[in-house]
């Protein structure tokens, strides 16, 4: 199973974070919400279980999976029909690779941006922002 993103530190509200969204040439988007859905499916073993874990309806969870399938042109989740034994879902190799790739982009971007985030925070705390920003 792919590594999960570490839980946010609740005791230290001092760490600024990046939120990464990838806009694909196909028009699709991949961001933290869709990645969380895939991680929850991997953990729960079902789409409905992932939806429950994320306080999301089955329909919405399935729509996010289908959007990823369309955007990538390949299934990210493999499902098995329900019944007396119950159904289930697991990530395909594409789904697993997507999580790994996204988390690497996220981690490396955060490392690169760490100094800039600290500068932004220091600027915001040291003086009030006044005036307007010139727009192009």
For the stretch 9-61, pLDDT in tens is: 443 555 777 899 999 998 999 999 999 999 999 999 999 999 999 999 999 99
Domain residue limits at 112: 22-126
Question: How are beta strands 88-91 and 77-80 bridged, if at all?
Answer: antiparallel
CATH number reported for the structural domain that contains residue 118 in this entry: 1.10.10.10
Look at residue 110 and tell me if it is in a domain.
yes
Q: What phi-psi label fits residue 21: left (phi over 0), alpha (psi between -120 and 50 degrees) or beta? A: beta
Rounded to two decimals, the pTM is 0.77
> What does the alpha-carbon distance between residue 2 and residue 20 come to, in Å, rounded to a whole number?
18
Please, are residues 71 and 30 in contact by the beta-carbon 8 Å criterion?
Answer: yes
Look at residue 81 and tell me if it is in a domain.
yes
Please write the tens of the pLDDT for every residue from 38-51: 999 999 999 999 99
Look at residue 107 and tell me if it is in a domain.
yes
Look at residue 37 and tell me if it is in a domain.
yes
């Amino acid at each position: 199973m792919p590594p999960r993103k570490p839980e946010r530190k609740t005791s230290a509200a001092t760490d600024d974070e990046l939120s990464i969204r990838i806009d694909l040439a196909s028009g699709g988007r991949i961001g933290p919400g869709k990645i969380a859905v895939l991680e929850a499916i991997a953990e729960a073993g079902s789409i409905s279980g992932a939806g429950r874990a994320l306080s999301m309806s089955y329909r919405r969870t399935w729509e996010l999976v289908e959007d990823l399938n369309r955007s990538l042109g390949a299934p990210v989740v493999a499902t098995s029909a329900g019944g007396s034994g119950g159904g289930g879902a697991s990530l395909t190799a594409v789904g697993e690779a997507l999580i790994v790739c996204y988390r690497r982009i996220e981690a490396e971007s955060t490392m690169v941006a760490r100094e800039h985030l600290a500068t932004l925070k220091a600027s915001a705390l040291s003086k009030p922002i006044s005036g307007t920003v010139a727009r192009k």
